[in-house]
Amino acid sequence: MEKNRNLKNKHTDDLVDHYWGSINYVSSLIKASELKAGLILSFYGILLNFIYQGINMLLVSTSNETFLYILLGLWFFCIVTSIYFSIRCFMPRIEGKYDKNIFFFKDVISKFGTIHDFTKTFYEISVDEDQVFDYLGQQVYIISKIAAAKFKYVQRSLQFLALGLIVLLLIVIYYFVAIVI
């Protein structure tokens, strides 16, 4: 029994590093998805500024162009939908359906009692490596679920961004072919 305990402790440091490395990796994925969503929103800020400056010229020269207005409506829908999904990426995704966890910030202050109760529980769990790894594994799962949701929203935002750019290209082509020429 003592031999198994020593073997178990031999790799504990590596396992702790592995779990925390996994948590840090997934946390960096969450940051990356939010960075991408922020870049999409920044792009829209620049694009909409240019369009705002030139929209009067377009609308004056195309007063009775129904097809152009349909394209503009489709383009506006794509923009709004893309912006919606980018903003959804920034919304917190905290689920309360899981067991309390000493590594989850919300549980630390709400489910472990006073500061002294938490400190005592944290120590007791920290010296039991099976419990530590169980809690760390739960955290890896939970933040992976959050990262997957955020990347799903970024992907949808990018899809509507691409569709919107295609529609915008059609608007420009239609404008130059039907109106200018």
In this predicted structure, the answer to whether residue 50 has a pLDDT above a threshold of 80 is: yes
How many domains does the structure of the chain reveal? 1
Give the three-state DSSP class for 40.
Answer: helix
The pLDDT of residue 1: 46
Query: Nearest-CA neighbor of 166 among 60, 89, 71, 100?
Result: 71
Tokens 């178990």 -> residue: 8
How many alpha carbons fall within 13 Å on the CB side of residue 92? 4
Q: Can you give the pTM of this predicted structure?
A: 0.78
Which residue range is the domain that position 29 belongs to?
2-180
* 16 — pLDDT class (breaks 50, 70, 90): confident
Rank 131-135, 160-164, 176-180 by mean pLDDT and report only the highest. 160-164
